[in-house]
Structures are given as structure tokens and as C-alpha cells.
Amino acid sequence: GQQVMQIPQYQHVQEGEDFTTYCNSSTTLSNIQWYKQRPGGHPVFLIQLVKSGEVKKQKRLTFQFGEAKKNSSLHITATQTTDVGTYFCAGPESGGYQKVTFGTGTKLQVIP
């Protein structure tokens, strides 16, 4: 079945440093969604990318969807303590919109 891996699994950064997490799917995705889960909380939707090569920005966050629609990345510029949490990518296989597979997640710790 479809597998979605994220690297790194954990990342510690000093406040103000940049952070990037990478998402790789074993199959082509219809779209890619990104979620953030704060410690003790539930996943919250951040953004969805649909087109091959698409890039979207939300303030300090930049999201990219690969040309082959099998990988994606989330980059945070100048991290803040409010960025702490686990970031997940997720997406359905191309042609099928029913089963949404989540990535393994990247846990971000920001040291003040």
C-alpha cells in the first residue's frame, strides 16, 4: 500500500533558525495537505497543494509540491516558540480520493 515518509523524525532548533521537513510518498498523490499538531492536541489543517510544482506561502511558512507529485516540503523561516509541534503531510493516491495516508510526522522543538 501507499507509504508516506517524513524526514527528519525530530528536529531541535534555536529560536530564529530555519526549519525544513520533507515528505516522500511511494505513489503519486492527487494533492498534498499539511497539518500541525501541538503537544497534547489534535492535527489542524494548514494548507493544501494540488498542482505539480506548486509553491504556497503563509507568512513564515513555505510549502512546495514536487514536480512528480510524490514529494513535498515545508520550510519555516526564523522559527518562533509558537512553531513547536509535530508537522504532518497527508494525501490521497492519484486517482483515488478516499484513502488519505498521513506521513510519519516531524516533531519540532524550538529552544528559546
Partner 1 sequence: NAGVTQTPKFQVLKTGQSMTLQCAQDMNHEYMSWYRQDPGMGLRLIHYSVGAGITDQGEVPNGYNVSRSTTEDFPLRLLSAAPSQTSVYFCASSYSTGNTEAFFGQGTRLTVV
Show Cβ contacts of residue 76 under 8 Å, excluding neighbours closer than 6 positions.
18, 19, 20, 60, 61, 62, 83, 108
How far is 51 from 34, CA to CA, in rounded Å? Answer: 15
Q: Is residue 99 a contact residue for partner 1 (CB under 8 A)?
A: yes
Q: Which of 12, 15, 18, 45 is in the footprint of partner 1 by CB under 8 A?
A: 45
Q: Which of 30, 62, 77, 109 is in the footprint of partner 1 by CB under 8 A?
A: 30
Q: Is residue 109 a contact residue for partner 1 (CB under 8 A)?
A: no
How far is 4 from 29, CA to CA, in rounded Å? Answer: 10
Chain centre distance of CA 73: 6
Q: Is residue 105 a contact residue for partner 1 (CB under 8 A)?
A: yes
As given in the structure block, the three cell numbers for residue 10 are 525530530
Q: Is residue 85 a contact residue for partner 1 (CB under 8 A)?
A: no
Q: Which residue type, as a one-letter code, is found at position 57? A: K
Instruction: Tell me the closest approach of the beta carbon of residue 23 to partner 1, in angstroms.
Output: 11
List residues binding partner 1 (CB under 8 A).
1, 4, 6, 9, 30-31, 33, 35, 41-45, 48, 88, 90-92, 97-105
